A and B are shown apart, each in its own frame.
With several copies, the nearest count.
Chain A
């Protein structure tokens, strides 16, 4: 592979998602309930994708929804859940309990090292930790090695090269130049380490505008781009919108009571498209009101 020339990379969500094969290693951008590539997640579910090997750092409804939809074979993240606020990830917990998914829980720092190996073109990197923890028992592929200089025992972890990274950004241009706000989480690393990058943006802007905002992920790494307003919903995508806590609660409540399928039917399958999804959600504009005042912002989390 070489870097991608600056050509127009715009396409449709359906077309973009169709490039993700069943069984693919899929890196999910964003973290916790922020900047998750939810429009792509929903489209993958609509298209009936199966057998995915998900890779990420800290995730929530992105992973849980894909697991609920039966799209996932293996989960390799450092965290999946809804934090202290909404608690454990219901579909993920249930699928683990029933042995329906491989739990390959990893560590942010290990995944970082594995992505960096891919990014740097080396087949492995050493890490200091992991030993002493049982996380290694979920990863029989790790090897112990000795530093040739210090004799120090280290853990060698193999390069991780996802088939595709799914990223969402607040803005980007037609060439795939993306602007992100901090925290970038692993998005930059995913972009370099993956074989392909599919991006959604809330707003397509000119190259001048994305340059002025600051290009975080360069277009030469991006294969396809789709403009999807609110494409991270119900996750946040600052500076545009905060996360939709009532909606996340609706999902968690449904899934915890065993009705993830009902949620999927209503919000993914029956909506048919992101236009349909946005109509089904309705109150999207409220989420952009965070910047009006501290009180308005707090109100969204009350």
Chain B
């Protein structure tokens, strides 16, 4: 029996899921369905012992029957023995007890700084974005950050400089994390619809690509000089287990809301030779 084809949104959340290590305590912020689905995928595949903190619910290890389109809905705490209080979660994250957070941004620079606050001037911003939630404190103390964006291709997301830095990456005009004395390790991975990036030092580097995206396409969409890993490799496709997890967890397809139509039409198939989960 040959596996069904899979779509970019499915592969994308699997790639986010794979940035989670077993046993980690992981959190996602508001309006982040891809990260949200990814966390549940990780818990049902390679990280069954993770401590999953369900976004705006602060529920621990829930088994939601489906992912609703809002992050504060009782569906998201079903099956959890308990929820943290708001302050219990923030305290844990600020004292260093949370290992990973997923962060996105309307703008992201090469240091992994993100902007979810505003585009344009501060007194009269052209676009007031939603806002940073708890990010400007959490990003200082949480163990590692996984960044993601589904809007790389348009060319306006990966920018030379953010109009506003909401959440600190590895370095801002105020200094580096070390200089500021922040205990958190900062951005470790960045997943976009064009590829996967790591942070070998303070800046981002392309290390894995999708089969239907060329390095030149990635470079053209990136607003700063693209650093490419010497051992650049193609991404491992999702396993059938991972795909099944995505489909079970997100039957409403809430994750798809993060993508342009064009990206959603990208369909892939496992090549007969295998393609295992990494």
Interface residues of A (CB under 8 A from B): 1-7, 31-34, 57-58, 77-81, 83-85, 88-89, 92-93, 96-99, 103, 105, 107-110, 112, 116, 118-122, 127-135, 137-138, 152-153, 175, 177, 181-186, 188-189, 192, 207, 210-211, 215, 218-220, 236, 238-239, 242-243, 245, 290, 294, 297-298, 301-302
Contact = CB atoms under 8 A, between A and B. Distances in A.
A130 B140 CA distance: 8
A103 B70 CA distance: 24
Interface in B115-142: 117-118, 122-141
A275 to B, nearest CB: 27
Interface in B11-26: 23-25
Contact of A131 (B118, B166, B174, B258): B174
B51 to A, nearest CB: 5
Contact of B131 (A81, A112, A119): A81
B117 A211 contact: no
Nearest to B258: A84
B57 A129 contact: no
B175 interface: yes
A238 B72 CA distance: 10
A222 B9 CA distance: 38
Given A81-B130, A88-B128, A153 B181 contact: yes
Given A33-B70, A135-B166, A182-B57, A107 B87 contact: no
Contact of B84 (A105, A110, A218): A218
B132 A135 contact: yes
Given A1-B96, A105-B117, A185-B86, 11 more contacts: A2-B25, A6-B49, A32-B72, A78-B133, A85-B254, A88-B128, A118-B95, A120-B91, A121-B95, A175-B81, A184-B86
5 contacts: A34-B72, A93-B127, A109-B138, A215-B82, A298-B251
Interface string B14-42: 00000000011100001111000000000
Given A88-B130, A138-B122, A2 B98 contact: yes
B254 A134 contact: no
Nearest to A236: B73
Contact of B70 (A85, A132, A297): A85
Contacts of A210: 81
A92 B70 contact: no
B202 to A, nearest CB: 13
B88 interface: yes
Contacts of A302: 252
Nearest to B165: A134
B252 A301 contact: yes
B223 interface: no
Interface in B150-186: 164-168, 172, 174-175, 177, 180-183
Contacts of B126: 97
B51 A5 contact: yes
Nearest to A108: B134
Contacts of B99: 2
- 6 smallest CB-CB distances across A and B, nearest first, come from A121-B95, A129-B137, A81-B130, A129-B140, A108-B134, A132-B168
A132 B182 contact: yes
A243 B71 CA distance: 12
Contact of B90 (A7, A109, A239): A109
B83 interface: yes
Interface stretch (B58-66, B208-216, B229-237, B268-276): B58-66
